[in-house]
A and B are shown apart, each in its own frame.
Chain A
Amino acid sequence: MSISPSGSALQSRFGAAVTRVVESCGDTIAYVNRDRAHEILAWLRDDPGQHFNYLTDVTAVEYRDAERPLEVVYQLRSLDRKADLRVKIELAKREPLEVDSVCDLWKGANWLERETFDMFGVRFRGHPDLRRILMWETYSEGYPLRKDFPLRGHFSRAEQTRQALAGNPEAHYSLEELSIAEAFHELPADMRDRLEKGERGKVG
């Protein structure tokens, strides 16, 4: 075992908030407590001895074992120290999947967290613009990368086709532009209605 120095530094500084530090294939992984994760990540970024100034990736992992918690994964890197650290937050699936956003620490987290929300349904508290990013705004089949999401989607192929044909192109366009225009109330009533209830999304 060759735990990186950051792992032991974390444990001595944050004690029980760092539940364990393990190593896998040469990478060090620190599991941290959800409630103190933001504080720990901020320390890792700003402490001169750590200086993880580069956020390589944010994603989530759900295991095939339904009992195992879902993990939110941060890949951190220090460009000058040439060191890597993986920080994980475990989220029990019975509780709401929520963590604090790190957008204020790394701007690069913006789209990464949006994607994690889009694909896993993890909510990032304090994110400036938490919307779906790869799927469309009114998509309501669920979160595609969750293990309870079948490869072909929740809806039948016939239902998916029906919705695709019945859908209005405007429903694909996000409400973001509407908020720019602040003209939602000026839209034709039927369109406002469609956008509000998310025509392609909620069925029946």
Chain B
Amino acid sequence: MSTRTVEATLSTTGVDEQGNPIGIPLTVRSGDEEHMLINLGPQHPATHGVLRLVIELEGETVVRVIPHIGYLHSGFEKLGEYRHYNQIVPLTDRTDYLSPMANNVALALAAEKLMGIEITERCRVLRVIACEMSRIISHLVWLGTTGIDMGAYTPFLWLFQQRERIYDLQEAWTGARLTTSLTRVGGLLADVPDGWEEGLREFCRTFPKVLREVDTMFTRNAIWIGRNQGVGAIAAEEATNYSLSGPMLRASGVDYDVRKDRPYLGYETYDFDVPVGEHGDNYDRYLVRMEEMFQSTRIMEQALARLKPGPINVDNPRVILPPKSRAMSDMEAMIFHFKQVMEGVRAPVGEAYMGIENPKGELGYYFVSDGTAKPVRWRIRPPSFLNLASLPRLCEGVLLSDVIAINASVDIVMGEIDR
């Protein structure tokens, strides 16, 4: 039998002149063995985005997996070099679009580190709330879609109902569900509206109950355990060597959380636990993310308790836009308004790397400035890019159906991987 490639077969229409399907085996000879090549994606519901995997199979066992990415490449890093620091915020919404508010916070923190700006206490607390809300919605999407990949549809609906409640809060705060653009350098787009805190308190009160129901559905479910336990395992040392981060790293038993180890936004003053796994397999990643949602609720409750009235923006007219009413009536405020809109916030010469614990892992923004209002370089350190890079390693020798489970457990978001 002649060996064929994926390309050769894709180049045919798949039918002969009579309209009958052509059955060309996608095989490759490796010694005496004949291996099959499977092309998965880029458009496939189980790849969680436009990810393409080429899988070489021996029988049903995976010999190797080659991921192909870049289908969603938008050149965000290049675009950032042509924008003021505040104008970059909308771009961050669109990278990891499952946790836009956390990305906004990371960007503001990186720019503030570069400029040496100290933000207000209320802003700090609100940003913590934003980060933890993002963690919950991101993990909810992950758990719901992973459940679907394993054939469980019901928890997906429960979880998306809960996610919708956070989206409502997000919309009430920022005016948008997805493109939140919450932060500004030195502050926030807006304070939370009246009565909003009560809404979040209500969420914190009722959400753990639903989560426990989902826990009942999954944690001791025979199918869930069978599909996940011992699948896609990676040990601590190797996980570190692969630069994994977030739940992927912690599931392997490495106790590293940016919130604890390089605290920002005063995370060291909150009382919360960092769940750490033992086996580094899919199941431990599930347990870690599950527990993180409970812990996020705890953090939000504490943050709400310490949310005191006060300014959300720093008192610096070179950084923060004056109120519109003053810009329209006061000459000096108008000049500051004009300077900021036309020239943007200037950063000193220097560079800063700021990493925060995003739902997917460590999201880092690296700014290099030459003293102008636009960065020379804006680098995104994408957590799921590095987590996905370990997929070929995680899929060695597993069954084809496990590739779907492993890929789901990595929790990728292509907007961030391809940027």
Contacts from A to B (Cβ < 8 Å): 24-27, 29, 53-57, 59, 61-65, 73, 75, 79, 82, 84, 86, 106-112, 115, 119, 132-136, 144-145, 149, 151, 168-170, 173-174, 176-178, 180-183, 186-188, 191, 195
Q: Assess whether B7 is in contact with A177, with CB atoms less than 8 Å apart.
A: yes
Contact B66 A177 (CB under 8 A): yes
Out of A57, A64, A144, name the residue touching B78 (CB < 8 Å): A144
- Residues of chain B with a CB closer than 8 A to A183's CB: 3-5, 8, 28
Is B256 positioned at the interface, with any CB of A under 8 Å from its CB?
Answer: yes
Contact across chains for A111 and B11 when beta carbons are under 8 A apart: no
Report if B416 contacts A (CB, 8 A).
Answer: no
B6 nearest in chain A by CB position: A177
Q: In the complex the two chains form, is A181's CB within 8 Å of B37's CB?
A: yes
From the candidates B66, B70, B377, name the one contacting A134 in the complex (CB within 8 A): B70
Q: From known contacts A25-B114, A177-B66, A178-B5, infer whether A112 and B10 are also in contact, taking CB-CB under 8 Å.
A: no
B242 contacts A107, CB within 8 Å? yes
Choice from A59, A108, A119 contacting B366 with Cβ under 8 Å: A59
- B interface, over-half SS: mixed
Pick 19 A–B contacts, CB within 8 A, sort by A.
Answer: A53-B240, A53-B241, A55-B243, A56-B362, A57-B364, A61-B368, A62-B376, A65-B370, A79-B256, A82-B262, A106-B242, A108-B386, A111-B385, A115-B385, A170-B7, A177-B37, A177-B54, A183-B5, A186-B2
- Told that A65-B370, A173-B7 touch, could you supply 8 new A-B pairs with CB distance under 8 A? A56-B364, A59-B377, A63-B370, A106-B243, A134-B73, A145-B78, A187-B5, A188-B8
* B79 on the A face (CB < 8 A): yes
**How far is B11's CA from A145's CA once the two chains are assembled, in angstroms?**
33
Is there an interface contact between A178 and B364, defined as CB atoms closer than 8 Å?
no
Q: Does B411 contact A (CB under 8 A)?
A: no
Contact of B116 among A25, A73, A182 (CB under 8 A): A25
**A107 contacts which chain B residues (CB < 8 A)?**
238, 241-243, 390, 393
